[in-house]
Amino acid sequence: MSDSSSHSSTGSTPSGRTIRGGIGRIIADAIIVAAFVLLLTLLFLQTGWPRWAFYAALFLGVAVYVSITRPW
Amino acid sequence: MSGETRERSTRRLATIRDRLDTGMDRREFVRTLVTGGYAVGMAQFLGVEDFLSADNGDVPIVTALVREDPDDPWSLTERTRYVPAGWYAAVESAIELNERLAQLAFTGYLGSAVVPGSYQSETATVSVGISRDWGSVRDLLNQLATGIPVDIEAIFDDGGIDDLEDVGDIEDADDLESVDGIDGGRDSFEPRLVEDVHEGYVPSGVACETPTSLATLGPALYSPDTEQAFFVTAEHAFEGNPDPVGEPVSLPVRDSDHVSLGTVASAHPVEDFATIEPTGDIEPVSLIDTQSPLRVRGQYTKLGLADLMARGERLEKVGAMTGHTTGAIQGIDAVTCFTDDFCRYGQIRWGGQMDLTDGDSGSVSFHADPAGDDEDVLIAGFNNARTWWPGQSYVWGVGAYRLTELHGYHF
């Protein structure tokens, strides 16, 4: 268990290693999530999918992003 | 195909599964909430609600400018509504065609109006009035219209605009009843006079007097430039005076003396309205005189009027002579060129010849505010004239949105 967590903390994105300190990671999160929202917005603008799908995709995306990246 | 990639992705998936298996601890939960909130905020900032809340094929239109606070005329906010995109496209192209026709103002053109169809039909037509030269004009219209249905409404084979006076009665300065003639009025209407001026205000829908004639007082008109409230009535009520600025306007009171309202601050002959700066003790108010007074909460936009017409809603008015009447909307964004040597734009056509008579000019057409209180209404425009000839009968006047576009005034 401890092995797997240390593995994921070192083996995940290189940016996680280079950006030191919580603030750096929060800024990275902000930029990545903003890009994700923008992408999602453009996608929904083009396809005209319903509102519930937009918010479902938004929260699902955030949940997945949070669970696969290192905590603050 | 590429086993290595697949292996790597399975490994990554396994790591994710491990992380998910450990469950969401509190820090992670908080982070999800914060990030989620940020994402939603970002989405709102990008304006996703504007298109998300639309059903398939719906587009938002601004239908009205409405006061958030009924007592604060400066708290105007836009009200939107979702309408079928097909209908919107049809109305927009009809408006464009209508504008093009008015710009061309070809020989024989008397005016035109946009007639939006129902939402189900997803159509809009342009109704065009023509005086002569049927054949060539029809060809020209067909060239211009390109797919937009055009109704040709009134055609007179020989002679031109002069003939209109014979078949229609166009209320203009010459027709306006003089003050002396009120008692023996042609339509034998008694003007609605205020009983008494209570609490220093007077509602719209009662008679007011200019030096030469009697007209209807409109509800308060606001000028955002000077943050001032004005009384308002029809400009043609100052007949024979090319520049009525400074002329006094008074209020006849039943069984009493006249009360001074103010003096004309600005006159707009094309839009046919005059603003009157209050100089006496009476202040302009946003009320309309019915059995229980109606409160003006704002005004409709051009597309708001199109929306009303698509839904078959009716307009109301309270005139000093004919009182409170209602009628169906017949056309919006209309152009009328048959009364003067210039054209009037942004007109509303509604009701019938019975809805207006001499002395009703200056009254406003309105419709209940669907989202407001019971007594709240939104203004459509002024009622300044009526026209009837075979197959046509309507009241017309400038739309409130036109005054806002040109001069900034609003109700």
B92-132 confidence digits (pLDDT tens): 888 888 888 888 777 777 888 899 989 888 888 888 877 66
Count CB-CB contacts under 10 A for residue A64: 13
Residue of A nearest to B31 (CA): A66
pLDDT digits (tens, 9 = 90+) for B316-345: 999 888 888 899 999 999 998 877 778 889
Q: Is residue B54 part of a domain?
A: no
C-alpha closest to that of B109 among B268, B332, B342:
B342
Count of domains for chain B: 2
Whole domain around residue B27: which residue ranges? 3-46
pLDDT at B132: 60
Of B163-167, B194-198, B233-237, B346-350, the least confident:
B163-167
B254 and B398 share one domain? yes
| Nearest chain B residue (CA) to A68 | B16
Q: Which of B17, B18, B20, B31 would best serve as a mutation to test chain A binding (most A beta carbons within 10 A)? A: B31
Is residue B59 in some structural domain? Answer: no
Question: Read out DSSP for B88-136?
Answer: HHHHHHHHHHHHHHHHH--TTEEEEEEEE--TTTT-EEEEEEE-S-HHH
Sheet (strand B259-268) strand order = B214-216, B207-209, B248-251, B259-268, B273-278, B228-233, B221-223
**Rounded-to-integer distance, Cα B58 and Cα B53, Å:** 9
Cα separation, B13 vs A68, whole angstroms: 10
Question: Is residue B310 domain-shared with residue B395, that is, in the same domain?
Answer: yes
Looking at the fold, whether B16 and B112 belong to one and the same domain comes out as no
User: Contact B204/B216 with Cβ under 8 angstroms?
Assistant: yes
Query: Within a domain: residue B58?
Result: no
B95 found inside a domain = yes
CA distances from B407 to B244, B267, B284 (A): 18, 12, 19
B117 lies in the same domain as B193:
yes
Residues B109 and B70 in one domain: yes
**B139 and B205 part of one domain:** yes
Q: Are residues B9 and B134 in the same domain?
A: no
pLDDT at B379: 93
- Percentage of residues in chain B with pLDDT exceeding 70? 78
Quote the minimal CA–CA distance from A54 to chain B in Å. Answer: 8
B208 and B133 co-located in one domain: yes
**Phi then psi dihedrals of residue B96, to 5 deg:** -65, -45
Local confidence band at B133 (pLDDT 50, 70, 90 cut-offs): low
- For residue A65, which residues of chain B lie inside 8 Å, CB to CB? 35
Backbone angles phi, psi at B60, to 5 degrees: -85, 140
B79 vs chain A: nearest CA distance in angstroms? 21
B165 lies in some domain: yes
Based on the fold, state whether residues B81 and B38 are members of the same structural domain.
Answer: no
Residue B159 is predicted with a pLDDT of: 36
Chain A / chain B CB contacts < 8 angstroms: 72
CB contact under 8 A, B35 and A61: no
Nearest to A37 among B16, B19, B39 (CB): B39
In a domain, B53, yes or no: no
Residues B71 and B177 in one domain: yes
Length in residues, chain A? 72
**According to the model, what pLDDT value does residue B322 have?**
85
Mean pLDDT of B25-41: 85
From B10's Cα to the closest Cα of chain A, the distance in A is 14
If we measure between CA atoms, which residue out of B300, B311, B387 comes closest to residue B116? B311
Least confidently predicted of A10-19, B30-39, B260-269: A10-19
Residue-level pLDDT at B171: 44
Task: Tell me if B27 and A58 make a contact (CB, 8 A cut-off).
Answer: no
Q: Is residue B61 part of a domain?
A: no
Determine the residue among A8, A54, A66 to mutate to test chain B binding: the one whose Cβ has the most chain B Cβ atoms within 10 Å: A66
Backbone dihedral region of B176: left (phi > 0), alpha (psi from -120 to 50 degrees) or beta?
beta
Closest by Cα among B97, B96, B67, B61 to B82: B61
pLDDT at B377: 92
Nearest CB neighbour to A4, from listed B18, B20, B40 = B18
Task: Say which of B19, B25, B42 has its CB closest to residue A8.
Answer: B19
Cβ–Cβ contact A70 with B under 8 A: no
Closest chain B residue by Cα to residue A46: B51
Mutate to test the interface with B, among A2, A3, A4, A25 (most CBs of B within 10 A): A4
Residues B71 and B131 in one domain: yes
Predicted-complex ipTM score: 0.71
Say if strands B76-84 and B58-67 run parallel, antiparallel, or are unpaired.
antiparallel
In A, residues 6-35, which contact B (CB 8 Å cutoff)?
Answer: 7-8, 11, 29-30, 33-34
Residues B151 and B237 reside in one and the same domain: yes
